[in-house]
Structure 1
Amino acid sequence: MDPTTSQFGPPEGERELAAVEDIVSQAFGMPLEEMTPWRQKVEAGGGQLRVLREGGSVAATSVLIPMGQWWGGHQVPMVGIGGVGVAPARRGQGTATRLMQAALRDIRGRGVPLSVLYPATQPLYRRVGFEQAGSRFELRVQVSGLDFHERSLKLRPVEPADLPALHDVYRRYAQRQQGWLERGPYIWNRVTHPRGEVAYGYLVEGVNGVEGYLYLTRRLISPRDLLQELSLTDLVALTPAAARRLLSFIGDHASLAREVVWRGGPADPLLFLLREQTYQVKSLFQWMLRILDVPAALQARGYAAGQSGALHLEVEDDLFPENQGRFVLEVENGEAEVRAGGDGDMKLHVRTLASLYSGFLSPDALRFAGALEADELSLRTASALFAGAPPALPDMF
């Protein structure tokens, strides 16, 4: 198939929509009859279906999800990519690479500096400039170990009118994390209406309003004795009292469930509250980041308050010539300015810059891996500028 005839854009007409559903069904092993509801749910949440046409037919699919991501207390515009699938007859012909190149050009053309995805295969995404930039962990806790008896805050079921307050609570917590999403409707819908399950929301209130909440699903794992596993699609607490109240609520299920599981990072502060280490933390994924606009991404990010310094970068980017060359990152009291030029004291590919930008790997670790070249002063400066909590994502998309 001649790739010069490639076209990227929204699916047009019922025939192309049917092709999208067929490709996604085969790529992800999902029943075909579930595809139309899946597609409608994606579109209702603001997800944007995109196809790559070659030779007049749909060769590959993707879903673009506009949102944001929190870095150093600043929200940076980001588009998540999911639903990547290639028609079986088009595999092994570079189709997925052309799809991703077209998608990234589309996203950069909107003025968005970042893109994030969960990789099914890393070589494909590394070819187009993505690199590991953070983690998603499963936290599995013994319910019997949640021996809290906090009752000072009121706990009640979530009502529809509570949703704006819950969104505010999440946002106030997420902006203090590294890599957490500024959620849009697509992600919130996955929290409140997970596929194939019913999520029950509960919130806790103090004198100043909502201080935390959770969404809980129940999975029957032993029909004989009605034993459940509790799975949380969200768990957020702004105060220690809210954290203990929510953990007390989960602990109240000890006669029904042995374990509760939620997703997050490698060092969840809720686990610090437990008396014993009655939990397991398991790595699920390393997600990947693509920096689409180097100066815009570096300038939009927040840096540690009081942090100052200048870092001279020389960046290589095979897809976007605009990212190729030398840049100076100048940080003053946590705020950044970026200009072209400088001495290029730290040389790295845009992939490596993604891992540095997120704080996923230290400059020393990246140099050890042979991913960057830098003098000692540049290494120390980069270590200080990009220091922070481990980047994590509780959300899938």
Structure 2
Amino acid sequence: MERGRPEFGSPEGAEDLAAVADIIAQAFAMPPADSVAWVEKAAANIRVLREQGEVLATATAIPMGQFFFGQRVSMAGIGGVGVAPSARGRGAATRLMRHALQELRGMGFALSVLYPATQPLYRRVGYEQAGARFEIRVQAHALDFSERSLQLRPIKASDQPAIQEVYRRYASTRQGYLDRGPYVWDRVLHPRKETAYGFLVEGANGVEGYLYLVRRSKVDLQQELFLTDFVALTPAAGRRLLSFLGDHRSLAREVVWTGAQVDPLLLLLPEQTYQVKLLFHWMLRVLDVPAALESRGYPQGVSGTLHFELEDELFPDNSGSFILEVSGGAGHIRRGGGNSLMRMDIRAFASLYTGFMSPEALRSVGALVADDATVRLATTLFSGPAPALPDMF
């Protein structure tokens, strides 16, 4: 390794950044000018792996949070993972990810989430499927609403604090939604090579909902309306925003947004004139087991004491026996003795933690070992709405 150049760390100078841009361009079939622009935007969060001073691989860590039962858990999203073509097949990506996860745990993040281009790499370092992202596609002609009770107007720059507060109130009631940081908000407001137009609806108490809309040209002068964000806090806001979208039906064929498999706004439609399609299963890695369990919320009115044992090859502090005590919507964790009644590795724990897989489902494929009573207790403590993410990063 070149003297003074660590194996892992932030890019150092223009040469490293150029190498990152080249890796990103080739890994994601991106035009070089676009990869350079992406690197400029993400530079503060980029990490690289070097060998003999040369950049072999890169990843971007994005600080944010994730909501579980109304409580925020610190989370770092991982994106832009790429390896130089000449370095592939030598374990560079695994080394890169191990370094990145160690750094993130040291920074105090409890969780990490990513969208995998390939699963074996991320499973090797402790990630597992833990939630989903769905596309909701509604036929515009079905949005025949006449709701006009709330004022609708374009969003101004001065509205951003109110918009972000509305989003946070909404996201905190959805299992797995992000507590967005600047990086993700920028993707919402400024989608690459497209223009997002924002509109909000107001009532007596202020902003009740909003959307950001991208108009995509289709054949025969028709359009597709893609929503980079769509939030309604009240029934009136939902109907008003759907009315606004329906007002485009003379030119728009479909309205598209992303979110959970079950979107309550679809209940407002008179017919099932929509499709819900799975886009991705995202993967989660628990970095700090005690922090992750104590910072998330739990179902109100549920209590119990769960003994379990974990295996984590990368972080020995996550391995061993634990006792989780849940009451009043909160969890408290302590080290246990030899009375562990449920055993799993850190990957299975990720799926259990979010509620993506039930204890019985994990047991059915050999990912979890427990007796029936313990499975019933774990189901009670970790059950809830299916975890979802509308955002890419």
TM-score category of the 2 structures, normalised to the smaller one: over 0.9
Once the two structures are TM-superposed, the CA of residue 40 in structure 1 deviates from its matched residue by 1.9
CA distance in 2 between counterparts of 1:273 and 1:373 reads 43
1:211-226 counterparts in 2 under 5 A?
A: 211-222=208-219, 225-226=220-221
2:7 is the counterpart of 1:12: no
2:383 is the counterpart of 1:395: no
SS at match of 2:223: strand
1:195-274 counterparts in 2 under 5 A?
A: 195-222=192-219, 225-274=220-269
Gaps of 5+ in 1: none
CA distance in 2 between counterparts of 1:147 and 1:361 reads 38
SS at match of 2:278: strand
SS at match of 1:42: helix
AA partner of residue 337 (structure 1) = H
335-344 or 81-90, which deviates more: 335-344
Corresponding position of 2:336: 341
SS at match of 2:218: strand
Q: Deviations over 1:238-269 (max 9, x none)?
A: 00000000000000101011101000010011
Once the two structures are TM-superposed, the CA of residue 219 in structure 1 deviates from its matched residue by 0.6
2:359 is the counterpart of 1:363: yes
Gaps of 5+ in 2: none
Once the two structures are TM-superposed, the CA of residue 296 in structure 1 deviates from its matched residue by 1.1
SS at match of 1:235: strand
Which of 291, 300, 312 does residue 295 from structure 2 map onto?
300
AA partner of residue 317 (structure 1) = D
Which of 87, 93, 109 does residue 106 from structure 2 map onto?
109
Which of 259, 269, 274 does residue 279 from structure 1 map onto?
274
2:348 is the counterpart of 1:352: yes
2:178 is the counterpart of 1:171: no
2:368 is the counterpart of 1:372: yes
Whether the 8 Å CA contact 1:6–1:55 is kept in 2: the answer is no
Corresponding position of 2:22: 22
2:150 is the counterpart of 1:153: yes
Once the two structures are TM-superposed, the CA of residue 42 in structure 1 deviates from its matched residue by 2.1
CA distance in 2 between counterparts of 1:389 and 1:6 reads 44
Corresponding position of 1:142: 139
Once the two structures are TM-superposed, the CA of residue 202 in structure 1 deviates from its matched residue by 0.2
Q: Could you state the TM-score of these two structures normalised by the residue count of structure 2?
A: 0.98
Once the two structures are TM-superposed, the CA of residue 6 in structure 1 deviates from its matched residue by 6.6
Q: Could you state the TM-score of these two structures normalised by the residue count of structure 1?
A: 0.97
SS at match of 1:92: coil
AA partner of residue 168 (structure 1) = E
CA distance in 1 between counterparts of 2:33 and 2:235 reads 45
SS at match of 1:66: strand
SS at match of 2:352: helix
SS at match of 1:177: coil
CA distance in 2 between counterparts of 1:36 and 1:91 reads 22
Whether the 8 Å CA contact 1:171–1:182 is kept in 2: the answer is yes
287-296 or 33-42, which deviates more: 33-42
Once the two structures are TM-superposed, the CA of residue 41 in structure 1 deviates from its matched residue by 2.1
Corresponding position of 1:56: 53
Which of 70, 76, 81 does residue 78 from structure 2 map onto?
81
Equivalent residues, number: 390
2:32 is the counterpart of 1:32: yes
1:40-51 counterparts in 2 under 5 A?
A: 40-43=40-43, 48-51=45-48
Alpha-carbon RMSD across the aligned residues, in angstroms, is: 1.2
SS at match of 2:238: helix
2:290 is the counterpart of 1:290: no
AA partner of residue 21 (structure 1) = A
Once the two structures are TM-superposed, the CA of residue 332 in structure 1 deviates from its matched residue by 1.1
Corresponding position of 1:382: 378
CA distance in 1 between counterparts of 2:24 and 2:58 reads 8
Whether the 8 Å CA contact 1:217–1:233 is kept in 2: the answer is yes
CA distance in 1 between counterparts of 2:375 and 2:186 reads 42
Identity percentage over the alignment?
Answer: 64
CA distance in 2 between counterparts of 1:103 and 1:64 reads 8
AA partner of residue 23 (structure 2) = I
AA partner of residue 105 (structure 2) = R
